[in-house]
Structure 1
Amino acid sequence: MSNDQPPPGQPPDEDPFLKKPQDPTPPPAEGPYGSESPGGPPPEGPPPGGPPPGGPPPGGPPPGSPYGGGGSPYDSPPPPPYGSQPYGGGGGYGGPDPLAGMPPLADSGKRILARIVDWLIVVVPLALIGIPLNVYERTTDSDDFGDAITQSSTGSGLAFQLITIVAFVAYDTVMTARGGQTVGKKLMKMRVAMLNDGSTPPMNASLMRAIVLWLPALICCACLWPLLLLILILVDKPYKQGLHDKAAKTVVVSTPQ
């Protein structure tokens, strides 16, 4: 090893193998012209090899340039928090929102009005059918409520109940599978859509939805079942689904017409 000293006034050459003290600062970032210290000043003069062809870009250095800054991924805005997607859903755990690109969910009050309209459309013809079957006469003439139930469960009363079930289920199934709208929903400007892609429900999904919607109410729970469905629609988040919607994987959305 040579013991020659550098000339006076000239600093000694830095030993490239000298171990420097460690500090908590991150390692220098690699720029287009070599490594640079994140905290030090930019190098003076043009970079090694001359300036880039064409000169500096107009309007200042581009984003991410070692001389202009602003290109760090840590400077970008943070992602939106969970639950900030439309309808309060966000798909869960960062997944896509199933309703992205679809119309907004239908108003709950309009859904109630649409259901009343559909109920009247089916009930009025059924009331006319029940007259020749003497359904109302046997019920009003019976002094005991248990006898009325027994009479309505035999003969023509049972037939009328089956006709009622078929009428409600068939009406809702066919209208929903045809265009996603019953008469009531069309008047209220809404439709039934599949949750995954917004398409019109197919026949099997429409049938499942209609069965869960009407069958319990027509067999045993005429008052309790509609009330339960209404409560679930009002409290369900984020898609306002009743049990019939959850069974068929559908939602009710607004339509422009």
Structure 2
Amino acid sequence: MFYQGVLTKMETEFTSPIQYYLVFENDFINLNQLLNKTITLEFVKYQCLNCGQDKPIYRQGFDKQCFYEVPQAADWVMRPELSKAHLGIEERDLEFEKKTQLQPHIVYLANSSNVKVGVTRKSQVPTRWIDQGAHEAIEIVEVPNRYLAGITEVALKDHVSDKTNWRTMLKNEIKDENLVEWREQLRSYIPAESKEYFIQNNSETNLEFPVLKYPEKPRSLNIVKEQSYTGKLVGVKGQYLIFEDETVFNIRANEGHVVRISLP
């Protein structure tokens, strides 16, 4: 049996453990059901998530031309503090930017390899934490637009990391932290514009991932270079597939690649 389709970020269901799905145009795979099974991944071609053409993927699932044109890849996506839709200023597509930026956003703390600060749309909680492989997370503020979330994150990352070490996350070399205490320690650094949105009475969210065995020395699979790979799936965490031989495959980093997946 085999499936073929263009890779996009895995869909998830917040259960214990989290359920993971690879969704293709006409089918989907529940990856939890493939644990302890040997699967083969084969690279077929590129397929830009915007234009659909077979052109090398540059970043975020887009070919180079599309990456510099589509609103989904504008600078404010990675740097929320650059958002301008609340001022009515267009960067690439004002209608898209208003729809995306002018909605409730959360500034949060998540613990995946260490405690880090991040930003996401409220509608993406807890999906964003799952995608980062965080085993615990907590909201700090809920603001009405992306700009306020961005300037809050910038202020807080002077006092807490804003990066995840993917190897540490995959090796599960983590320790539990009291995120309520972290939130209280960071409260005084929240900028004046966002102070009224501080969330006082909430608790940590804990997440459990479907992993049978964590790798000691994870090796990242380059499916374009290797063309084909076969291995036993032993876990899924963040947006990574984890195999028994310690190979790991980042689905998110391979968006826009068409693959064939052969199952036993």
TM-score by length of 2: 0.22
If asked which structure has higher relative contact order (CA below 8 Å, sep 6+), I would say 2
TM-score by length of 1: 0.22
**Which of the pair is proportionally richer in helix?**
1
**Which of the pair is proportionally richer in strand?**
2
Larger Rg over CA atoms: 1
